[in-house]
Chain A
Amino acid sequence: MDLDLLFRALSDATRRRLIDELAERDGQTLFELHVRLITYYGASLSRQALSKHLQVLEEAGLLRTEWQWRSKHHFLDLTPLRHAWTLWLAGHAGERAPESRPSAAEPSAAQPAAPQPDAAPAAAPSPSPPQRRTPA
């Protein structure tokens, strides 16, 4: 799990749209994704540029490809997003930070977020239980 690769993959509107379109219908070919981007977003990108975007998403583990009858289909894999949530994002953006963290957590996120009586109000976790997603 490489957070740098993941956030780099997410740092581009076209690539986020590709995730949206694959969430709408998984397993698309390059052709279908290209037509969708052009139709829905007025994108003017070439198929070659799209191919590179897909490669970046694949390197980040966000999609995998599968050959079906000699056509290449792209399937979404949101596991890295869930890992990023568990490893780092939830510690800052969750309603309440996870109570136990994997040992691979980044140092900046490794501070325990257990409620402390003297915690500053702005940093106080909400009383509701954390919405943790279990990595697939």
Chain B
Amino acid sequence: MRIELASVMVDDLDKALRFYTEVLGFRPKVDMPLGASRWLTVVSQDAPDGTQLVLEPDAHPAAKPFKAALKRDGIPFTSFGVSDCKAEHERLVALGVRFTQPPVTMGPVTTAVFDDTCGNLLQIHQQH
């Protein structure tokens, strides 16, 4: 068994695709119609055959209150690995990304938390 897909629930697929590719720098992988919606995934630039991130509509009635509750408490539900957390923070801030937590080093890891504009907080982490 392998982890091939992970999902984030987003409020708008087009907006999400723009943010996750143009701002975060992921690469579109699959984009095909599926029922009333689309099957939309992105991958890391340096791992095009690696784990795909599914951009999934948050249409389920339970999704929005769940997301809002996590966001209220500053909780990122997804974390992406970076090699330099501070540099990535600076790059994203310059692109207008809003951070709820700037880079903070705690033990063996430096993390930062930001808003994906689609109803989620995301974390970036750098292992030392």
The minimal Cβ–Cβ distance linking A63 to chain B, given in whole angstroms, is: 15
The 6 residue pairs across chains A and B that have the minimum distance between CB atoms: A29-B74, A31-B74, A30-B73, A39-B106, A31-B75, A71-B100
Please give the number of chain A residues whose Cβ is less than 8 angstroms from any Cβ of chain B in the complex. Answer: 18
Bound-state Cα–Cα, A39 to B106, Å: 7
Q: Is B86 part of the binding interface, using a Cβ–Cβ cutoff of 8 Å?
A: no
Q: Which residues of A contact B (CB under 8 A)?
A: 25, 28-32, 35-36, 39-40, 47, 51, 68-73
Q: Is B98 part of the binding interface, using a Cβ–Cβ cutoff of 8 Å?
A: yes
The minimal Cβ–Cβ distance linking A113 to chain B, given in whole angstroms, is: 44
Bound-state Cα–Cα, A71 to B68, Å: 9
Bound-state Cα–Cα, A30 to B111, Å: 15
The minimal Cβ–Cβ distance linking B88 to chain A, given in whole angstroms, is: 18
- A-B pairs with beta carbons under 8 Å apart, 18 shown: A25-B104, A28-B101, A29-B74, A29-B113, A31-B113, A32-B74, A32-B100, A35-B111, A36-B106, A47-B73, A51-B73, A70-B68, A70-B72, A71-B74, A72-B72, A72-B73, A73-B74, A73-B100
Residue B100 contacts which of A29, A35, A40 (CB distance < 8 angstroms)? A29
Bound-state Cα–Cα, A72 to B68, Å: 11
The minimal Cβ–Cβ distance linking A27 to chain B, given in whole angstroms, is: 9
> Which of A68, A71, A72 has the largest number of chain B CB atoms within 10 A?
A71
Bound-state Cα–Cα, A30 to B113, Å: 12
